[in-house]
């Protein structure tokens, strides 16, 4: 019996199937906005010397356990993990996971393909879906899209330099400006070296010990397992305690403090505004030194999910994954959230940037060809082929449509209707109406392209 046949005792399924909770379909014309955003991103990344990387959507579970960290929310409760059965005796079952983020995969690929041996800085970008089993709400999905960049390489390539951090942040400011995102804010912090974090963790643990009993259950657990995570907590009742905890800034060694100062000085020199947020430690364990988030103001369309993007430095990640020393920095933009913000802004301000005006999402085609009678269908298709190959956008109607229905259909999708009746086909002509002006002419088919352009 195939898996799709009804199992004994199984209820008859009469309701229709829907996209799984937390996933969604992206439909035209909205997908035009997604494509616009991606093409602006590709254009900006190219100007900063980035090349595209595409890594698999699923990876060995160990990659995320070791890279992102066992104790993080992502790994401990949000991953889609399954055991991939062995298909032959020679094979072993393997635990696989849909990627919850792409940095670990990029660093795995960097190690696997020995990109470090090329000697230069690797500047990579990606655009693709990620998967986390979070509670779905506006701006938070179980399948969501990220547009991200990673800059990494051997120390000799300058990968550790604060210039890299500032360049990535300045590029993000440029990208958001070019997309027309208004009111974005950059929050910046340094979480120091792995050593600094160890000392800070110990201090946090100590400071939490006498007060943790007064905190929520989640924070009590975090105080034990991963005290840094307490700083992410948004639970209102715990804020007073959290604000009084030691600050990471007081635990940075001289090198980390100098690095952070140099990042800020470079941003000042570029005129990129930021605020330092000492609680910004981010939800992934691989971060060292610079961490950052870009947010949008309340009322920008994101509800409570106001982090448009996040990122930071991960100087030890390659080694954690068994690779060579390869300091790096990167970010990932939540593309779903970026789209929500742009839609909200376009609604508020009808004269949006190109691609953001809802009126232009469904760009009209150059022509709609209306065959009069089924005998003209083939001629209509042949004419459409000729026009399309010449670069025009064309829709073909159907010979069974009456003239009125053809006009209505054409007006919805195209700027012109090209009527092909018996007479037109016989004389290689076409009757063309331009909807914007109401002008109607009968012309030779050879003149059509010029008229439609």
Closest Cα partner for 107 from 382, 291, 314?
A: 314
Minimum CB distance to ligand HAM smaller for 147 or for 215:
147
Q: Rounded to whole angstroms, how far apart are CA atoms 246 and 220? A: 17
* Greatest Cα pair distance in the chain: 93
Q: Rule CB under 6 A: is residue 229 a binding residue for ligand HAM? A: no
Q: Rule CB under 6 A: is residue 153 a binding residue for ligand HAM? A: no
Q: Rule CB under 6 A: is residue 312 a binding residue for ligand HAM? A: yes
**Strands 414-420, 429-434: pairing kind:** antiparallel
Segment 7-46, which members bind ligand HAM (CB under 6 A)?
none
Q: Rule CB under 6 A: is residue 190 a binding residue for ligand HAM? A: no
Segment 332-361, which members bind ligand HAM (CB under 6 A)?
332, 334, 336-337
- Span of 24-32, 35-43, 96-104, 433-441 interacting with ligand HAM by CB under 6 A: 96-104
Q: Rule CB under 6 A: is residue 171 a binding residue for ligand HAM? A: no
Q: Rule CB under 6 A: is residue 150 a binding residue for ligand HAM? A: yes
**Strands 51-52, 58-60: pairing kind:** unpaired
Whether residue 319 contacts residue 155, with contact meaning beta carbons closer than 8 Å, is answered with no
Minimum CB distance to ligand HAM smaller for 161 or for 445:
161
Minimum CB distance to ligand HAM smaller for 321 or for 418:
321
Q: Rule CB under 6 A: is residue 301 a binding residue for ligand HAM? A: no
Minimum CB distance to ligand HAM smaller for 248 or for 332:
332
Instruction: Tally the C-alpha atoms within 13 A of residue 322's C-alpha that lie toward its C-beta.
Output: 6
- Span of 177-185, 212-220, 256-264, 304-312 interacting with ligand HAM by CB under 6 A: 304-312
- Span of 5-13, 99-107, 184-192, 208-216 interacting with ligand HAM by CB under 6 A: 99-107
Q: Rule CB under 6 A: is residue 125 a binding residue for ligand HAM? A: no
Non-local (6+) Cβ contacts of 289 within 8 A are: 165, 190, 191, 192, 193, 256, 259, 260, 312, 313, 315
Among 34, 125, 331, 407, binds ligand HAM (CB under 6 A): 331
Among 61, 103, 256, 345, binds ligand HAM (CB under 6 A): 103
Long-range contacts of 263-269 (CB under 8 A, 24+ apart): 263/162, 263/165, 263/166, 263/169, 263/188, 263/190, 263/290, 264/188, 266/162, 266/163, 266/165, 266/166, 267/166, 267/169, 267/170, 267/188
Minimum CB distance to ligand HAM smaller for 141 or for 260:
141
Least distance to ligand HAM from the beta carbon of 213, Å? 30
Query: Helix H segments across 191-334?
Result: 194-208, 217-225, 239-243, 254-270, 317-320
Q: Rounded to whole angstroms, how far apart are CA atoms 301 and 446? A: 50
Q: Rounded to whole angstroms, how far apart are CA atoms 113 and 110? A: 6
Least distance to ligand HAM from the beta carbon of 181, Å? 13
Minimum CB distance to ligand HAM smaller for 99 or for 264:
99
- Span of 9-17, 25-33, 80-88, 144-152 interacting with ligand HAM by CB under 6 A: 144-152
Query: Helix H segments across 13-57?
Result: 30-47
Closest Cα partner for 160 from 319, 290, 297?
A: 290
- Span of 28-36, 143-151, 214-222, 339-347 interacting with ligand HAM by CB under 6 A: 143-151
Q: Rule CB under 6 A: is residue 134 a binding residue for ligand HAM? A: yes
Q: Rule CB under 6 A: is residue 330 a binding residue for ligand HAM? A: yes
Whether residue 328 contacts residue 313, with contact meaning beta carbons closer than 8 Å, is answered with yes
Helix 30-47 with 335-348: angle, nearest 10 deg: 110
By the criterion CB under 6 A, which residues form the site for ligand HAM? Answer: 101-103, 132, 134, 139-141, 144, 146, 148, 150, 283-284, 307-312, 314, 330-332, 334, 336-337
């Amino acid at each position: 019996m195939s898996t799709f046949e009804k199992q004994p005792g199984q209820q008859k399924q009469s309701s229709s199937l829907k996209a799984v909770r937390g996933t969604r379909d992206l439909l035209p014309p909205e997908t035009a906005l997604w494509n616009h955003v991606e093409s602006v991103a590709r254009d900006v990344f190219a100007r900063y010397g980035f090349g595209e990387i595409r890594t698999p959507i699923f990876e060995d579970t160990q990659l995320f356990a070791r890279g992102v960290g066992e104790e993080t929310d992502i790994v401990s409760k949000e991953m889609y993990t399954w055991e991939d059965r062995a298909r032959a005796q020679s094979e072993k079952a393997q635990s696989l996971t849909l990627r919850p983020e792409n940095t670990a995969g990029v660093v795995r690929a960097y190690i696997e393909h020995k990109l470090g041996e090329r000697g230069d800085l690797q500047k990579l970008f990606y655009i693709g879906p990620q998967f986390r089993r979070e509670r779905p709400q506006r701006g938070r999905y179980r399948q969501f899209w990220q547009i991200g960049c990673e800059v990494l390489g051997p120390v000799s390539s300058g990968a550790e330099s604060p210039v890299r951090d500032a360049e990535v942040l300045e590029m993000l400011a440029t990208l958001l400006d070019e997309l027309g995102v208004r009111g974005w804010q950059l929050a910046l912090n340094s979480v120091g070296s792995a050593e600094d974090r160890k000392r800070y963790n110990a201090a946090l643990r100590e400071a939490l010990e006498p007060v943790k009993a007064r905190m929520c259950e989640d924070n009590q657990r975090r105080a034990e397992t991963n005290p840094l995570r307490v700083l992410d907590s948004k639970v209102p009742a715990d804020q007073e305690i959290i604000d009084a905890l030691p600050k990471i800034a007081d635990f940075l060694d001289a090198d980390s403090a100098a690095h952070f100062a140099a990042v800020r000085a470079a941003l000042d020199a570029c005129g990129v505004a930021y605020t330092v947020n000492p609680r910004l430690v981010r939800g992934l364990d691989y971060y060292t030194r610079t961490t950052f988030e870009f947010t949008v103001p309340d009322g920008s369309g994101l509800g409570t999910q106001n982090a448009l993007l996040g990122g930071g430095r991960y100087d030890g990640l390659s080694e954690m994954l068994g690779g060579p020393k390869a300091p790096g920095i990167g970010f990932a933009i939540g593309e779903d959230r970026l789209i929500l913000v742009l839609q909200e802004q376009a609604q508020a301000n009808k004269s949006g940037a190109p691609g953001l005006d809802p009126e232009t999402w469904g760009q009209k085609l150059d022509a709609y060809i209306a065959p009069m009678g089924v005998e003209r269908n083939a001629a209509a298709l042949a004419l459409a082929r000729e026009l399309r190959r010449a670069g025009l956008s064309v829709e073909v109607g159907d010979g069974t449509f009456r003239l009125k229905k053809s006009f209505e259909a054409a007006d919805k999708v195209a700027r012109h209707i090209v009527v092909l009746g018996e007479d037109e086909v016989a004389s290689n002509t076409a009757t063309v109406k331009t909807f914007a002006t109401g002008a109607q002419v009968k012309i030779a088919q050879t003149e059509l392209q010029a008229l439609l352009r």
